[in-house]
Amino acid sequence: MAYDVNELFPYPKNWVNDETHTIATAVHQWADKKIINNRLEYQKAYSELFLERRRSHNLDIGFQRIIFPEEYGGSGFNTLEKTPQLVTILGELSRADAGLGFMSALEYALSAVAAMEPNVNKEVCDLIAPMLCGQELKTVSILMPGQGIKDRIDPLFMGRPISARITPAQEGYSLSGSGIRPIGNGAIADIFGVVCADPDGRPGIAYVAADSKGISRGEEIKQTGLDACLNADISFSNVHVPSGHVIMNDDAVRELYTWLNLFLGAVSVGACLNFFEILRNWADNRVIKGKGLLKNNPLCASVLAAVAEEIGLAKILVYNISNFIGRTEVWGGHENPVIFMAAQMFGKRIQQCSLNAINRGMELMASAGYAKEWHAEKHWRDVKTIQSVLCGVGAEVPVQLDIARFFYESDLD
Amino acid sequence: MKSIDDFSRPLNNVSPMERPFRKVLRRVVDDEIMPHRRKYDEDWENHEYIEPVIHKLCVGLGIQKALFPQEYGGWSLGQSDYMMALAYCIAEEVGRGDSALSLSSICSLWPVCTFLIPPLVNMDLARELAPMFTGEALCIGCQAMTEPQGGSDIENMDLIKGKTITTTARQDGDHWVINGHKLWPTNSGGIATIFGVPCTTRPGSEDPNDFAYIMVPADTEGVTQSPPYAKAGMAADKNGDIWFENARVPLSYRIHGPGKDALAFKGLIYMGQLGSVGFAVGALMNVYEILYEFASTRTFGNRLLKENDAIAGILGDIAGSIDICRVLAYEVVRLGDDRNKPWGNPIYSEETIAKSRNIKEFICDKAVDVCGKAMDILGTHGSDRAWDVEKHWRDLKMVQLWLGGKQLCQMEKARYYFNCTTL
């Protein structure tokens, strides 16, 4: 029986307007036509078709420029109340291929810090908008604080070592740091967003064009999932960064974490929705114990229920983060620490729920769960990759400490 | 400094042969598998790097002849009270380097377990097939079990009793004529030398006497293998379709005959659990080694990861889980190695199968959790193939799902412990 996967999973519809539904339907149809209904062909020529599909939605449809103000050639989705729209677009893209969603998520997260009203940063927008609102496909990579190295003392952002440093230099800063691991796209980025620290240890974000002098990339990293989002360690050797291209406050770093949790949460949920479609098809057609359909066996039905439960919860949580961010009249802006804490806390849960859903569902698919032909395993690898990179280091501990700081005023630094 | 050898195991279950054999295996793993294993994912189709290592393990170290009687050139391991301990040792030690290599090497012997482990021994067939397994050429055995229509139903012998098997064996003079379609077995995908084929002499029958297990050399006319499937991991294990179209083999290639074939086949389920726990614990021990290095060289809050109380808590749980899994794995060993003791049970007994399935399910669930958590500890390096944890994560998920998967394990346990009669 035909069904609409988006309608099956309840979410607060009053937070999503008609325009969003229209966009969602269009992207949904695009995803079905261009990718989901031609999955084998898409898999066979993955690199080539990924690029083509990415070009199609980023440039032809215009999602690459969507977040920028109209005066920069963007679509004007740079107001916080548009956040649910961005979430919806990312979810639909990721339903087709989490790699497509992931690339857009990094772009939106980095751009949002500079382009979202009421804190539009003109100088950063002047740097990145011409690239992202132009007619060429551009890729964004983000280098977050993460893991330090033994015997090295790093400046910290809420316990997380910051490997990149900026020092004042003529008309700006000099950026340095060696072998830093981005959360993705390092090998192919046109723009880097680098969380860095000044000589006083204050954190900030440097926006750097990838063709700047002094940037070198390590070898391409082979990774579990997100196959097209080629990553590489990045080194900065006295890279000149104009002072206007650095947002020098820790609120900006918190905001970047918030956007990443929201947008990457949307990506994982989107991947899960397609996994649900695959699993539902499986349960509709496979027989167990030589007789009944899988979905009609009580044990299998209980596993199927657990999968739906996890996805439903993850989807609700994503929309909740977008509500925190989007309804400034209720929650204030990013200055309110509850938003960062909620994004971290819910973001962690969204990734856990997403991975649990796929893990449980794969149990019922047995070998089809890990056969590339069925595509379930790709969603599984992609979501796990997102979950791990979001951790930074130390599994859920950094986020747990953020939560403890908020709720208990724990002194953990 | 602690090492993987500090994880617990009951020393009274350890084979006297184990110490030297483990040492040799570890050297092969460290020198010939670890440095190359990152190339294996891309080698899934051609086995350019993988095949020489399988050859080294199976022929060079003699794994492929281990079960055959000494008089036919083997080690008579099937007669040993430490057979399962040694099989586990190989699974664990090679699994530390690559669980699929371990799987491929050990599963090569899976079909011949049906007639080389007392009390179900067929010496005539052993003599006939020994030259294939004891020579210098690589002989890959493949236990061709799963069928398209019912997935792993065939493994659910207690309930289904073989009635859904569609692969048929028809006697024609002094030959069996096999027809049917199998898919997914380890060591298919074009590399098998000989198949063990569960089939039926009377389709739709629930009578165990109609269940047949017949050895079919891969070069028999009428046998066709597909190329390997693309999978999430386990590159050293090729899987594909096998078609039997009027494939004729001598009558003597049926392993025992009516009734006993079904028992021997049930024994294979135990062997599958034994191998699975070995692959899983071996991989977990390597995850421990990787985590040890990572947590001792990387920092959070300018302290080594392992010195941060909260992260240490996770590391402690991981090490504890690995230790418990290893102890449990040796309980699976004991169940098998006690098969000839007064207090033991045959490997095809309901108790042995239910308890080994129980432990396999527990260990695999834990293993997938541990690997996932380890990836998260590595954070941005967790999904990096250079650190190998993610490889184990992908591989162990497959170990968790095979052999009927989690739900079949749950059913078998419920039937055994609660005497369920209608499940």
Cα–Cα distances in angstroms (integers) from residue B202 to residues B167, B205, B211, B398, in the given order: 10, 6, 8, 33
Q: Give pLDDT, residue A1.
A: 67
| Encoded tokens for B89 | 């040792």
Task: Tell me how close the Cα of A330 comes to any Cα of chain B, in angstroms.
Answer: 34
| Encoded tokens for A249 | 């406050």
Claim to verify: residue B12 and residue B129 sit in the same structural domain = yes
DSSP state of B245: E
CB pair distance less than 8 Å for A370 and B159? no
* Average pLDDT over every residue of A201-229: 97
Helix/strand/coil (H, E, C) string of chain A? CCCCHHHHCCCCHHHCCHHHHHHHHHHHHHHHHHCHHHHHHHHHCHHHHHHHHHHHHHHHCCHHHCCCCHHHCCCCCCCHHHHHHHHHHHHHHHHHCHHHHHHHHHHHHHHHHHHCCCCCCHHHHHHHHHHHCCCCCCCEEEECCCCEECCCCCCEECCEECCEEEEEECCEEEEEEEEECCCCCCCCCCEEEEEEECCCCCEEEEEEECCCCCEEEEEEECECCCCCCCEEEEEEEEEEEEHHHEECCHHHHHHHHHHHHHHHHHHHHHHHHHHHHHHHHHHHHCECCCCCEHHHCHHHHHHHHHHHHHHHHHHHHHHHHHHHHHCHHHHCCCCCHHHHHHHHHHHHHHHHHHHHHHHHHHHHHCHHHHEHHHCHHHHHHHHHHHHHHHHCCCCCHHHHHHHHHHHHCCCCC
Q: Give pLDDT, residue B158.
A: 67
Claim to verify: residue B221 and residue B179 sit in the same structural domain = yes
* Average pLDDT over every residue of A379-399: 97
Phi, psi of B253 (to 5 degrees): -85, -5
Contact A216, A96 (CB under 8 A): no
Claim to verify: residue B126 and residue B158 sit in the same structural domain = no
Residue A268 within any structural domain of the chain: yes
Relative to beta strand A191-197, strand A156-157 is unpaired
Q: State the CB neighbour count (10 A cutoff) for residue A131.
A: 17
CB pair distance less than 8 Å for B382 and A397? no
Each residue of A68-90: pLDDT tens digit? 999 999 999 999 989 999 999 99
Residue A233's CATH number: 2.40.110.10
Q: Closest Cα partner for B405 from A15, A288, A63, A197?
A: A288
Claim to verify: residue A226 and residue A373 sit in the same structural domain = no
Phi, psi of B194 (to 5 degrees): -145, 140
Contact A120, A114 (CB under 8 A): yes
Contact B193, B139 (CB under 8 A): yes
Each residue of A238-251: pLDDT tens digit? 999 999 999 998 89
* Average pLDDT over every residue of A50-68: 94
d(CA B176, CA B255): 12
Domain stop point among B87, B115, B139: B139
Exposure string (b/e) for A292-301, b if CB count within 10 Å is 16 or more? eebbebebbe
Claim to verify: residue A127 and residue A257 sit in the same structural domain = no
Task: Please give the helix or strand (H or E) that residue B248 lies within, else none.
Answer: strand B241-250
Task: Tell me how close the Cα of B20 comes to any Cα of chain A, in angstroms.
Answer: 36
Residue B8's CATH number: 1.10.540.10
Domain region containing A399? 250-408
Nearest CB partner across the interface for B300, out of A355, A387, A393: A393
Relative to beta strand A231-242, strand A172-180 is antiparallel
**Residue in A181, A224, A356, A362 to test binding to B, most B beta-carbons within 10 Å:** A224
Claim to verify: residue B243 and residue B318 sit in the same structural domain = no
Nearest CB partner across the interface for B305, out of A286, A365, A394: A394
Q: Give pLDDT, residue B153.
A: 60
Each residue of A141-175: pLDDT tens digit? 999 998 999 999 999 999 999 999 999 998 899 99
Claim to verify: residue A273 and residue A404 sit in the same structural domain = yes
Contact A267, A248 (CB under 8 A): no
Q: DSSP per residue over B257-289, as a string?
A: -TTHHHHHHHHHHHHHHHHHHHHHHHHHHHHHH
Residues of chain B with confidence (pLDDT) below 50: none
Is A265's pLDDT higher than 80?
Answer: yes
Q: Closest Cα partner for B181 from B249, B265, B241, B222?
A: B241
Q: State the CB neighbour count (10 A cutoff) for residue B252.
A: 16
Claim to verify: residue B295 and residue B244 sit in the same structural domain = no
Claim to verify: residue B210 and residue B336 sit in the same structural domain = no
DSSP lists the bridge partners of residue B169 as B178
Q: Give pLDDT, residue B159.
A: 63
N-terminal to C-terminal alpha carbon distance within chain B: 50
CB pair distance less than 8 Å for A391 and B406? no
DSSP lists the bridge partners of residue A164 as A196
Claim to verify: residue B180 and residue B159 sit in the same structural domain = yes
Q: Hunting for tokens 């021990």 — which residue is that?
A: B285
User: Is the peptide bond prior to A118 cis by the omega test (within 30 degrees of 0)?
Assistant: yes
Q: Closest Cα partner for B402 from A365, A367, A362?
A: A367
Task: Please give the helix or strand (H or E) that residue B373 lies within, else none.
Answer: helix B350-378
d(CA A397, CA B141): 46
Q: Which residue in chain B has the smallest CA separation from A153? A: B302
Which ranges in B98-243 belong to alpha helices (H)? Answer: 99-107, 113-116, 123-134, 157-160
DSSP state of B228: P
Domain stop point among B102, B121, B139: B139
Residues of chain A positioned with their CB less than 8 A from the CB of B385: 221-224
CB pair distance less than 8 Å for A222 and B386? yes
Claim to verify: residue A386 and residue A288 sit in the same structural domain = yes
Claim to verify: residue B214 and residue B266 sit in the same structural domain = no
Domain region containing B193? 142-260
Task: Please give the helix or strand (H or E) that residue B18 lies within, else none.
Answer: helix B18-28
Q: Hunting for tokens 């003791």 — which residue is that?
A: B341
Cα–Cα distances in angstroms (integers) from residue A332 to residues A80, A328, A336, in the given order: 11, 4, 6
**Residue in B299, B304, B360, B396 to test binding to A, most A beta-carbons within 10 Å:** B299
User: Is the peptide bond prior to B119 cis by the omega test (within 30 degrees of 0)?
Assistant: yes
Q: State the CB neighbour count (10 A cutoff) for residue B148.
A: 12
Helix, strand or coil, per DSSP, at residue B407: helix
Q: Hunting for tokens 């135990």 — which residue is that?
A: B270
Residue type, A382: D
Residue A125 within any structural domain of the chain: yes
Claim to verify: residue B170 and residue B117 sit in the same structural domain = no
d(CA A70, CA A67): 9
Nearest CB partner across the interface for B377, out of A160, A369, A394: A394
Nearest CB partner across the interface for B302, out of A156, A380, A397: A156
Domain count, chain A: 3
Each residue of B275-287: pLDDT tens digit? 999 999 999 999 9
| Encoded tokens for B402 | 């095979």
Residues of chain B positioned with their CB less than 8 A from the CB of A369: 397, 401
What is the longest distance spanned by two Cα atoms in chain A?
A: 77
Claim to verify: residue B95 and residue B153 sit in the same structural domain = no
State how far Cα A72 lies from the chain centre: 24
d(CA A27, CA B205): 52
pLDDT above 70: percentage of residues in chain A: 99
Residue A413 within any structural domain of the chain: no
Claim to verify: residue B179 and residue B249 sit in the same structural domain = yes
CB pair distance less than 8 Å for A148 and B393? no
Task: Tell me how close the Cα of A15 comes to any Cα of chain B, in angstroms.
Answer: 33
Is A413's pLDDT higher than 80?
Answer: no
State how far Cα B8 lies from the chain centre: 22
Confidence class for position A23, pLDDT limits 50, 70, 90:
confident
Q: Give pLDDT, residue B156.
A: 66
Q: Give pLDDT, residue B155.
A: 64
Nearest CB partner across the interface for A367, out of B233, B376, B402: B402
pLDDT above 70: percentage of residues in chain B: 97
Claim to verify: residue A176 and residue A268 sit in the same structural domain = no
Give Cβ neighbours of residue A234 (< 8 Å, ≥ 6 apart): A141, A143, A177, A179, A180, A182, A186, A192, A215, A216, A217, A218
Claim to verify: residue A308 and residue A386 sit in the same structural domain = yes
CB pair distance less than 8 Å for B407 and A303? yes
Claim to verify: residue A357 and residue A396 sit in the same structural domain = yes
Region of residue B69 (left: phi > 0; alpha: psi -120 to 50; beta: else): beta
Residue A125's CATH number: 1.10.540.10
CB pair distance less than 8 Å for A370 and B299? no
**Residue in B183, B383, B407, B418 to test binding to A, most A beta-carbons within 10 Å:** B383
| Encoded tokens for B281 | 């614990």
Claim to verify: residue A288 and residue A388 sit in the same structural domain = yes
Claim to verify: residue A221 and residue A240 sit in the same structural domain = yes
Claim to verify: residue B48 and residue B170 sit in the same structural domain = no
ipTM of the complex: 0.96
Domain count, chain B: 3
Residues of chain A positioned with their CB less than 8 A from the CB of B206: none
Claim to verify: residue A237 and residue A273 sit in the same structural domain = no
Contact B32, B56 (CB under 8 A): yes
Residue type, A221: I
Q: Give pLDDT, residue B150.
A: 63
Residues of chain B positioned with their CB less than 8 A from the CB of A150: 296-299, 304
The radius of gyration computed from the CA coordinates of chain B, to the nearest angstrom, equals 21
Q: Hunting for tokens 């062909």 — which residue is that?
A: A41
Q: Closest Cα partner for B384 from A229, A263, A97?
A: A229
Claim to verify: residue A125 and residue A166 sit in the same structural domain = no
Claim to verify: residue A334 and residue A354 sit in the same structural domain = yes
Residue A157 within any structural domain of the chain: yes
